[in-house]
Every structure is written in structure tokens, then in C-alpha cells.
Structure 1
Amino acid sequence: MSSTASTKSSNPPLRTLDDVRNQVAYEVSVRTKTKAESVDGVRLGVMLTLSKSDDEGFLRRVAGMLAHQLLFQEHVFALATTGPSTRNNPKSNTLLLCGWPEQYVQRAVLLASSKLLGRISVASNDGNIWVAIVRDIGGSPFDEQALWDVVRKSARAPMDPLSPPPGSRGIEQILSDARARLQRLTPAQAYAELREPEVGAPTFLVDIRPAEQREREGGIHGSLIIERNVLEWRFDPRSEHRLVIVDRYDLRIIVFCSEGYTSSLAALSLQELGLLNATDIIGGYQGWKNAGLPVDISESTAPSVIEIME
């Protein structure tokens, strides 16, 4: 073999511009993967890189290489090109969201659209890849932080709709907790207390039922009619909308509803305003009627009916 032929065979082939672009895209993809985090088993990351002559094409190369490196592994990434801009001449850059499966990308799209409100001019969605032209992305640290927030939240496993959030309580637990803080009265106890000729503090029987229930079920003459939606405003001594009689915190407020459920929550709410003598009637109006108590309390021992609603 001649020396000339040997020299030709040992020379490596010339690199094309496409080879260079692939090499740069590969290096960016490796850097992006190295910095990636994991949330609920999903790999995620953000990479901001300087603007190229073909921003979208370059970012698609990076996305393709990431997909190849993370084959069949769940992932979502935000890739963006950045460049100089001025106040009078903001630069539009390219943002690409990619991932697998597609649901992560679609979640990220919705979140990113809210974060970058008013800055997206053109967008295309191919399922696993979403590309947008975004004005002046990367111009402040907020953008990178915002994109990290987008991919982290899009990667979180969906909440089981049947699994209650931590710290929440069911209504039965809420009701039980409320009643544990009240000294509830039977209808007979409430009636006896209202008929006491002398009491230490003003005592009021308060009907919080809506008008429809009162019309259908009847009422107790002498009770204050204050519907539930305005109760706190009428009985808060600090409120400018309070009743004239609400001039002290030791008032004895006996609340009743139809069956004694809503009234327990209402009484606790009054206690939280500082009216620590507030309570309710076990069984509500129905319990009162079933106990054979009169629906008309003697006017000599109780005030006239007062109806206060918005």
C-alpha cells in the first residue's frame, strides 16, 4: 500500500455543520439530564441555553436526545433559548416542553401558559412536544424559577379524588368536635332556662332556620329570627351590623335549627366570636315539638318575635 493511500485512509471524515449541531445538542441534553430531579418517580428538569440560528430545530434535537436517553422512563422537561434584549426591543425566544407520557406535557402547557400570561405569541402542540414563541424569556431569574415550578407541579401524581387531603375532616368529625365544646341543652332544659324569672345575663332563643322551613314547620313565638347567613354579623360585639342587644360578651344565646345539626356549628361559631355562653338545642325545633313544648311562649316571660334578615 502506498504512503499516499495510507495517509488518506487515516484522515477522519470532515465534520459537517449538522454534526456540530448534533454534538452541541447532545451535550446540552446530557447537562439537562444530569441536573434533573425526580418527583413521584418522574424525571424533570429545566435548561436555558443561548439562542441559536434555528432555535426550534435545535431544541427539538435536544428533546429527541432526552427522549432517547430516558426511553420509557416518565419525564417532563422545559427547554428554552435566551438572548439579549432591551426595554424597547424585547427579544422573542423559543420555549419547548417535552415529556412522556403525554399527560405530563399537557399539564405543563396549562401551567406555563398561566405563568407566562401575555408573553406567548405563537404555539404549536404535537402531543409530547409543545413549542412556543415567548417574549424575552430568561430576562429575569423569575422565568427559570417559574419553569421549575411548572415541571415540578406537572409531574406530581394526581390526587386520588376519594382520598381526603391531609388535615381535612369529614362533616361528622367537624360536628362531633363542635359538640364536644358545647354544653348542649335538651328542649326541656332550654324551655326551663327561658322561663327563669331571674338570670345572670340576658338570654335569647335564636331561630336560624331559613324562611321556607319556618313557613313549613312553624316556629316558637318569642324567638329571635336571625337566618344563618347573617348570624355572626348580628352577634359579634365588634361588628357595626350587630343587634342593639349585643353590647356584652356574656349573653346567653340558645340557637336552634330544624333538627339540631346546623345549630351546633352555629353555636360554636358564636363561641369563637367570644360569646362563650352560646349553645344549641338537642334535636332542634323538631325535638322541641316532639317534647310537647308550646310553640307560643308566654309573652310575660319572652320577648316578641323579632325577624332580622338581609
Structure 2
Amino acid sequence: MSSSTSSHRRSRSDHASTSPSTSSYGQVIERSHPPSVISGLVEEEPNEPQSPQSPTTDALDPIRDQVAQTIVLRAVRKAETIDGTQVGVVTTLPHSSGELFLKTIASHLKRTMLPKQESYLFILTLPTQGLSPVLVCSSSGNLAERAGLVLQSKFLNRVERHELRHGRWGALIRDLCTTTYDEAALWDAVRKAARHPIDPLVPPPGSRSITQILEHARARLERISPQQAYEELQDNTVPWSVVLVDIRPEAQRRTYGSIAGALVVERNVLEWRFDPRCAYRLPIADRYDLRVIIFCQESYTSSLAAASLHDLGMLNATDMIGGYAAWKDAGLPDEVEVSSTAPPTEGRISVPVENS
């Protein structure tokens, strides 16, 4: 082993010996990370194996090596394939070997994937209190760099230091994996970085046009005509409340007119006002069988809005075919009587979302 690697290991051994913590796996080790940690993290391990007689050999090295092999085999089995690249996220338990153990995993991963001649991209993490080391290892430096850039954007103001070297991207991230967001963000970063560059004029796989989105939304609804909507509002025999909801912006209501008695809830706050689980819901939105009839000017936005309420569990929600324009064309009155159980409302006032 080279003198630089030996001195690097001696420095880590000295550091561990002065710590009150032991080197048992799973124990949280509180320690600071000098700037040299990042450089050491992205350095590759030497190809030649360490001699058993080397004075810097740690008694736990064989155990770490075996654990690293097991972690790699499990990670490869669970890996996803994105555009021909094997991707995954490995989170290890904190222990005293720290960044050295991540490098050991990276070396085993390289030796495992190299014979297969497959493209791969893995993010290796070791969450600790404070700053946590993260190592991105890949079959190409370009993939590692892309993943690093995505990580920087996802963990904004939390990446303390980072460096790209030898096809590896290493960094220290503050308070890693303290929330469910972090693990999801790590997976999202590795998936997005592995995607092949695409023609900006070609729709990405899995995307849908607005026409397709609209068709899918309407397939979920039992849409009704303006006349049917008017009759439902006048029917006092139904066991549930019925509300007519105008989601048009104020400018459209001023230009084309409105229906007095309809509940005005502009589109940007609709879900917050009709989610029974939300603290900012309307008083009437306290049950999931509420009949919500939504309309906009021509019934395009209203279909998407009604489908969104279905996602909240408001399965009685629907929209009015043709919107306000069809209501006017049908000669229906400009004023309706809202359901007897609906709360009084200022018909032309939209309540903004409150800050939580």
C-alpha cells in the first residue's frame, strides 16, 4: 500500500482511539469532518490487497470487508434499471470506520459490476449526527457528476463541501435521513441522473398530453348537464348536501357574469377548501359524501378540478358540461338557491390560503 494511504489510515486509527466511542457497527459516532475527508472519500482504493503483516492493518478489516460484500450483493439485487443503467441507494449504519467503509463498499461495487460491463450509478450514504458523508460511485464520471448536481439542488443549503475526482462525487450533507424526504430525494436523484439525454422535441416516456389528461379525468366522473345541475340544486329529497362551485378567476366573472348563490372558490385554493382533513376547509366540507358540482367558463378546467377532488376522497364531486357558457345558453336563472345545509357565503369573495 502507498505511503499516502497508510498515513491516511493511521490518521483515522488515531482519531478513533481518542474517541470514547467503540468501533461496533450501528453505534452513532459524533465527530467533526475536516476538509481532507472529502478528498479521502473520493480517492480510489489501491488495486493491490493489503498485506496481513502491514502494521496499519485493523483487526476489523476482514469483518468490514465481508459486511461490504454483503451490502453490495443486496444493493445489486434491489437495483433498478433506468435507461440501461443499474441504480440504487445504499444507507449504512453509522460506525467508527466512517468514510473508509463507504470506500470499501464502492470498491466492492466496482469489482462486482466491472465483469458485467454494465452501466451503474449508486449513492452510498452513512447518516451521522451533524454532517454525513455521501459518496456517488458510477461506471462513468459523467453519471457521478450529474447525480452530484441533482443532489446539490435537492439538498439546498445542506451540502457543506463536495468534490468530484476519479469518477466519484463525495460530499458532506447536514442532517441526512432525518426525514422521509431525504431517502426519496436520494432515489429521485439517482434515477434522474441515470436517464439518457433526450431530444427536447420528443415527449419523455410516461408523459401525457393535456388532451390525454383531460380524457382520463373525465372518464372518472359522472358529468352532468346544466339542466341536471339546476334540478339537483332544487331537489330537497337527497340525503346529502349539494353545492354549486364557481372556480373561475375574478376577471372571467366580471366579463361574463356569474350565478348568484354559487359558492366562489377559485381554482388555486379548491383542494384546501374541500379536503375534510384540512384545517382550512370550508365548514360545509366536513363529510365525504358532499355533492360538489364544479363549473368554469367552458368545462375544461372544471373536469380536472373535479378529478382532483376525487383524489381527496370526494367521490360525489363532478363538473357541469359546457360550464357557465352552457348554463347561459340553456336560459337557466342567474340566481340559484343553494342547498339548505350549505353555510352562508359571500358569493363573489375568494378566501386566500392561510399560512400554516
Measured after TM superposition, the shift of residue 252 of structure 1 is 0.9
1:212 is matched with which residue: 222, 226, 251?
251
Q: 1:249 aligns with which of 276, 288, 292?
A: 288
Partner residue, 1:308 = 350
Alignment-derived partner of residue 325 in structure 2: 286
In 1, Cα distance between equivalents of 2:194 and 2:287: 54
User: How far, CA to CA, are the matches of 1:115 and 1:230 in structure 2?
Assistant: 31
CA 1:118/1:212 → structure 2, altered by over 3 Å: closer, same or farther? same
**Cα distance in 2 between the residues matched to 1:193 and 1:155:** 53
Change (3 A) 1:114 1:167: closer
TM-score relative to the length of structure 1: 0.52
Partner of 1:230: 269
Q: Is the 8 A contact 1:186 1:282 kept in 2?
A: yes
1:145 is aligned to none
1:263 paired with 2:324, answer no
- Distance in 2 separating the partners of 1:238 and 1:206: 19
* 2:220 paired residue number: 181
Cα 1:298–1:251 change in 2 (3 A) is: closer
Amino acid at match of 1:253: V
Give the alignment's Cα RMSD to 1 decimal. 4.7
Number of equivalenced pairs: 206
Residue 165 of structure 1: how far off its partner (Å): 2.3
Deviation, 1:198, is 2.8
Letter in 1 for 2:351: M
Structure 1 residues 190, 158: CA separation in 2 closer, same or farther (over 3 Å shift)?
same
Larger of the two Rg values belongs to structure: 1
CA shift in 2, pair 1:224/1:165, >3 Å: same
- The alpha-carbon deviation at position 162 of structure 1 amounts to 2.3
Query: Does 2:238 align with 1:199?
Result: yes
- 1:158 aligned to which of 185, 192, 197: 197
Contact 2:242 2:338 (C-alpha < 8 Å) held by counterparts: no
Q: Mapping of 1:16-27 within 5 angstroms?
A: none
Q: Give 3-state SS (helix, strand or coil) of 2:283's partner.
A: coil
Residues 255 and 281, structure 1, Cα contact 8 Å, conserved in 2:
yes
Partner of 1:240: 279
CA contact (8 A) 1:209 1:228 kept: yes
Match of 2:117 in 1: none
Q: Which residue of 2 aligns with 1:272?
A: 311
* Amino acid paired to 1:271: H
After superposition, the C-alpha distances for 1:99-156 in whole angstroms (9 at most, x for unaligned) are xxxxx988876666777966579x9xxxxxx99xx999xxxxxxxxxxxxx9x98896
Distance 2:289 2:194 in 1: 53
Flag the structure with higher strand content: 1
Aligned residue type for 1:199: V
Decide whether the 8 Å contact of 2:143 with 2:193 is kept in 1.
yes
Contact 1:105–1:154 (8 Å) recurs in 2: no
Q: CA deviation at 1:308?
A: 3.5
The 1:179–1:107 alpha-carbon spacing in structure 2 relative to 1, beyond 3 Å, is same
Any unmatched runs of 5+ in structure 2? Answer: 1-46, 48-81, 86-139, 153-158, 173-188
Task: Write the deviation string for residues 170-207 of structure 1: whole angstroms up to 9, x where unpaired.
Answer: 11111101111111011111112212243221110000
Q: Closer, same or farther in 2 for the Cα pair 1:270/1:109, shift >3 Å? A: closer
Shift in alpha-carbon separation, 1:189–1:159, aligned structure 2, 3 A: same
Structure 1 distance, partners of 2:240, 2:350, is: 22
Find the residue that maps to 1:205 and give its secondary structure.
strand
Identity %: 54
Deviation (angstroms), 1:245: 1.3
Give the deviation of 1:292 after TM superposition: 1.6
2:15 — aligned with what?
A: none
Q: Does 1:168 align with 2:207?
A: yes
- Deviation by residue 1:34-70 (Cα, 9 ceiling, x = unmatched): xxxxx9899xxxxxxxxxxxxxxxxxxxxxxxxxxxx
Gaps of 5+ in 1: 1-27, 29-38, 43-103, 124-129, 137-149
User: Residue 221 of structure 1 contacts residue 304 of structure 1 at CA under 8 Å; is this kept in 2?
Assistant: no
Which secondary structure does the structure 2 equivalent of 1:308 belong to?
coil
Q: CA deviation at 1:158?
A: 1.5
Q: TM-score, normalised by structure 2?
A: 0.46
Q: Which amino acid aligns with 1:170?
A: S
Residue of structure 2 equivalent to 1:221: 260
In 2: Cα distance, 1:153 partner to 1:238 partner: 33
Tell me: CA distance 1:289–1:305, structure 2 relative to 1, closer, same or farther (3 Å): farther
State the 1:267 CA deviation: 0.8
